[in-house]
Amino acid sequence: MSQNRVVRVGLLGFGTIGSSVYRLVTNEHDQILEGTGVDLQVKKVLEIDESKKPADAPEDLFTTDFGEIVEDPEIEIVVELIGGTGAAFTFLDTALRKGKNVVTANKQLLATKGEALFTLARDLGRHLRFEASVGGAIPIIKVMRESMIAAELHTVYGIVNGTTNYILTRMYNCEGDYADVLTQAQKLGYAEADPTADVGGGDAAAKMAILGSIAFHSRVTLSDVTMEGIQSITLDDVRYAKSLGFVVKLIGAARLIEGSVSVRVFPALLPVDHPLSSISGAHNAVFLQGDAIGEIMLMGPGAGGMPTATAVVSDIVSIANTKDVGFLQSCSCYRKLPFYPADEMESAFFIKMNVEDVSGVLAQIAAVFGAHKVSIESMIQKGRGAEAELVLITHPTKERDFFAAIGEANRLSCCKSKPMTLRVL
């Protein structure tokens, strides 16, 4: 019977996640000890705001001096939960150099400066764990790095931003237009006061950079990910999609195509029977496709204090129980693959156009699409006269050809406003 081992942790930040990690470690201390033999103790918390200290916490738990954590030989693991890419990078870099193992939930940091930190961790033989950086409580990093090591993944589709999924779900249920639902989401705490990172796709892009790097063993940074947000999607678009049997979702798509990597974030129409279509509200899901596995989907709460804290604590306990840092410590990006050109990608599209309701319009539009090798799978016309709308779904086509066709169609005199386009998954 192995002996219990005291493992002392230093937390950086006592906000939503930091305070939940503290609460979880305190509440579940005996269970963790019983189950793993790890006597887990939060020894210090770096936090400026003393008023955040729980009433039952030791008097000297909080410090405003990072040195008290990083120079403390008893602290083995430093957990970064402050966010951002400035101080967070400096703290983790210093902690690794001082011999600490580190855990972070910071997707922005890993998607922008991850390579430097992973290289440092590998060179120094330290752990750098990041389960909570994608998907909250969903153990997607562990599954992709460990369980899928022989799966030859070629596609990762993710609903990895709860805010946008909440907004689009409510729009699908016809509970309001984009602006109304966003305001409700802000009131309920599902969206930030400044929602740009969520609704613009930046948060999802950082997470997809991390998942793409792991899936294809080749570094993807935030700047390699093309992104489109959901700000211009109207209730009308969602209703049309619904009437055609589709759900609108903000999708992260990481794909390996002919040995090249493509990572993108965009709003897309999904057939209502696609597994990702059933992911509603603030939930997240990741859908994996690989040669050896076919398809696997993981879903669950993608954010929030306690769900995310479970992922952080699992990383801490895993480090405490791992004698040799092994392959999990090092960066999994052992390849350097090229990126697939975006305009060479093939996609099917949904198009909504306001057109003049006069004879010959359909023939003009069909001729433009035909000239660019874009073939139409289905088309419906709604309304008459000045209100006439055409809704088309195309067959998969090269995006370069598609956007050339849309540009030309937009210049036709019968086309009364810029066509709205969305990819169809």
Ligand X SMILES: NC(=O)c1ccc[n+]([C@@H]2O[C@H](COP(=O)([O-])OP(=O)(O)OC[C@H]3O[C@@H](n4cnc5c(N)ncnc54)[C@H](OP(=O)(O)O)[C@@H]3O)[C@@H](O)[C@H]2O)c1
Q: Mind telling me the catalytic residues?
A: 207
Regarding 308 and contact with ligand X (CB under 6 A), the answer is yes
Regarding 143 and contact with ligand X (CB under 6 A), the answer is no
The C-alpha torsion from 209 through 114 and 279 to 382, rounded to 10°, is: -30
Using CB under 6 A as the binding criterion, the count of chain residues that bind ligand X stands at 22
Binding segment (CB under 6 A) for ligand X, from list 12-20, 257-265, 330-338, 357-365: 12-20
Regarding 128 and contact with ligand X (CB under 6 A), the answer is no
Shortest CB 258 distance to ligand X, Å: 34
Shortest CB 94 distance to ligand X, Å: 13
Regarding 303 and contact with ligand X (CB under 6 A), the answer is yes
Tokens of 340: 């697939």
CA distance 17 to 23: 10
Regarding 141 and contact with ligand X (CB under 6 A), the answer is no
Regarding 81 and contact with ligand X (CB under 6 A), the answer is yes
Q: Which residues contact 321 (CB under 8 A, 6 or more apart)?
A: 36, 37, 38
Per-residue x/- track, 83-122, ligand X (CB under 6 A): x---x-----------------xxx---------------
Return the residue nearest ligand X (CB atom).
Answer: 15
Regarding 284 and contact with ligand X (CB under 6 A), the answer is no
Query: b/e string for 339-377 if b means 16 or more Cβ within 10 A?
Result: ebeeeebebbbbbbbbbeeeeebeeebeebbeebebeee
- Other C-beta atoms closer than 10 Å to the C-beta of 286 total 29
Regarding 16 and contact with ligand X (CB under 6 A), the answer is yes
Question: HEC states along 334-374?
Answer: CECCCECCHHHCEEEEEEEEEECCCCCHHHHHHHHHHHCCC
The C-alpha torsion from 232 through 255 and 304 to 24, rounded to 10°, is: -170
Q: Which of 10, 18, 202, 290 is the binder for ligand X (CB under 6 A)?
A: 18
CA distances for 251 relative to 47, 48, 278, angstroms: 35, 37, 13
Contact 331, 113 (CB under 8 A): no
Residue 121, H or E segment: helix 107-124
At 80, give phi and psi (nearest 5°).
-90, 115
Shortest CB 298 distance to ligand X, Å: 16
Regarding 13 and contact with ligand X (CB under 6 A), the answer is yes
Regarding 15 and contact with ligand X (CB under 6 A), the answer is yes
Regarding 49 and contact with ligand X (CB under 6 A), the answer is yes
Q: Which of 10, 114, 136, 301 is the binder for ligand X (CB under 6 A)?
A: 136
Shortest CB 105 distance to ligand X, Å: 4
Q: Which of 304, 318, 379, 404 is the binder for ligand X (CB under 6 A)?
A: 304
DSSP letters spanning 267-310: EEEEETTSGGGG--TTEEEEEEEETTTEEEEEEEE-SSHHHHHH
Tokens of 381: 């016309």
- Other C-beta atoms closer than 10 Å to the C-beta of 232 total 11
Regarding 65 and contact with ligand X (CB under 6 A), the answer is no
Regarding 377 and contact with ligand X (CB under 6 A), the answer is no
Nearer to ligand X, 143 or 270 (CB): 143
Q: Which of 4, 6, 27, 48 is the binder for ligand X (CB under 6 A)?
A: 48
Nearer to ligand X, 136 or 290 (CB): 136
Interface residues toward ligand X, by CB under 6 A: 13-18, 46-49, 81-83, 87, 105-107, 132, 136, 303-304, 308
